[in-house]
Structure 1
Amino acid sequence: MGVPKALLRSAGGASWAARTTEVLRAGGCASVAVTVGAAAGEVRSSLPDRVDVLEVPDWDRGPGGSVLAALDHARAAGVEALLLMLVDLPEVTAGDVRAVLEAGGEDPSAALVRAGWRGRGGHPVLLGRRHWARATRLAASGTGLRELLREEGCLEVAVAASVRDVDTPDALPEGTSSPGGVRWRAPAR
């Protein structure tokens, strides 16, 4: 893409990072934190004021550093559950986020929920506090959370958009632009 995905602009002009924070808030997240690595200063300046920014110095080693930073932040905040979301899922809506949160049930600390589609896991992912120690070990080992999320007790909420991450310019939604104003057009299908 030539730029960090968090800095891509939606058709409305908001950075993908800012748009994602708004979707999370509208979906029911009481507070939102964003992990940043590449172009941290630019991403930070693209975000709304009421967002905590967590810098991940080893961001280039994979997503584990971001997960660890989010877990540390959640522990310090004293919350019972943490919702993990990726910035490159521009079709996930506030309603999708709400559905994952609601599937967490009466005891958020026990929640283990992920969005997915037809057996393919996606995001957002809701992790209750009871799962944080194991999630920390898995993230620190570099293996990711797949092992935890494949367990029998993990609920899956059907969200087609949760597995449509954008990894190439051809997959960008119509009207997406770079911070420099370059617009991408959706390919003919």
Structure 2
Amino acid sequence: MSPTTGLLLAAGEGRRYGMPKALVADSEGPWVHRAARALLDGGCQDVLVVTGARAEEVEQLLGQMPEWGTGQVAAVRCGTWARGMGASLRSGLTSLATRGRTVPRRAVVHLVDLPDVGAPVVERLLREADAHGEQTGQVARAAYEGRPGHPVVLGQRHWEGVLGGAAGDAGARSYLRRVEPLLVECGDLATGEDVDEPRSGTAALT
């Protein structure tokens, strides 16, 4: 399997939610911890978390993970996070691309507000990306009952194209429309639905 880094986008202010979703927890713990562990347990060698809104608090929360400081979980701040997900994606991919000899061959882009997406989704996505890598160049996307969602596998050869179109809240959407990634059905493992409003059982970690 190719060296793989999880790229967790956790920079947004969560305007509709009322607070950054990277600072939300439920009975299973902080969402940012759960998303990072889903990437690690699903097959990523390390995780880079992109922070932005209330970055210091999010990074303090990440510091409670045993993987923090070991090279498995790290963070990069996006100074332009208010411009939308595209800015966060640009910041994360640029950071990965400038690692020198440790540049990963692919990234798994995940979002912090998908609390029911766990390691089995990431594992299946990577397995299918490997199986069809020659045809797709390692670009694959989780789907839920046929609906494209996250995580998304991006082979290194696709990063330049993604960076060229990442703006606003579109992220990699325009690029993925052009290249038609391999869709990997994961609806039996999760809903893949993002949580935009507070719900019972969640709390703010402030």
State the TM-score, normalizing by the size of structure 1: 0.84
Q: CA deviation at 1:140?
A: 4.6
Identity level (%): 36
Q: Indicate the RMSD between aligned Cα atoms, in angstroms.
A: 2.1
Structure ranking higher on relative contact order (CA contacts 8 Å, 6+ apart): 2
* Counterpart contact for 2:113–2:194, Cα < 8 Å: yes
* Counterpart contact for 1:104–1:113, Cα < 8 Å: yes
Q: CA deviation at 1:112?
A: 0.8
* Counterpart contact for 1:64–1:144, Cα < 8 Å: yes
Secondary structure of the 2:46 match is coil
Q: Which residue of 1 aligns with 2:159?
A: 132
Q: Distance in 1 between matches of 2:160 and 2:75?
A: 23
Secondary structure of the 2:26 match is coil
Corresponding letter in the other structure for 2:112: V
Q: Which residue of 2 aligns with 1:11?
A: 27
Q: CA deviation at 1:177?
A: 1.4
Matched, 1:116 2:143: yes
Q: Which residue of 2 aligns with 1:42?
A: 57
Q: CA deviation at 1:152?
A: 5.6
Q: 1:70 aligns with which of 69, 92, 97?
A: 92
Matched, 1:101 2:126: yes
CA distance 1:156–1:121, change in 2 (3 Å) = same
Q: Which residue of 1 aligns with 2:110?
A: 85
Q: CA deviation at 1:57?
A: 0.7
Q: Which residue of 1 aligns with 2:8?
A: none
Matched, 1:175 2:201: yes
Listed one character per residue, the Cα deviations across residues 78-109 of structure 1 (whole Å, up to 9, x for unaligned) are: 11101100000000010001111111116589
Gaps of 5+ in 2: 1-16
Q: CA deviation at 1:122?
A: 0.5
Q: CA deviation at 1:130?
A: 1.2
Give the stretch that moved more between structures: 137-146 or 29-38. 137-146
State the TM-score, normalizing by the size of structure 2: 0.78
Please identify which structure carries the higher strand content.
Answer: 2
* Counterpart contact for 2:51–2:58, Cα < 8 Å: yes
Q: Distance in 1 between matches of 2:191 and 2:175?
A: 18
Q: CA deviation at 1:58?
A: 0.8
Corresponding letter in the other structure for 2:123: R
Corresponding letter in the other structure for 2:44: C
Secondary structure of the 1:64 match is helix
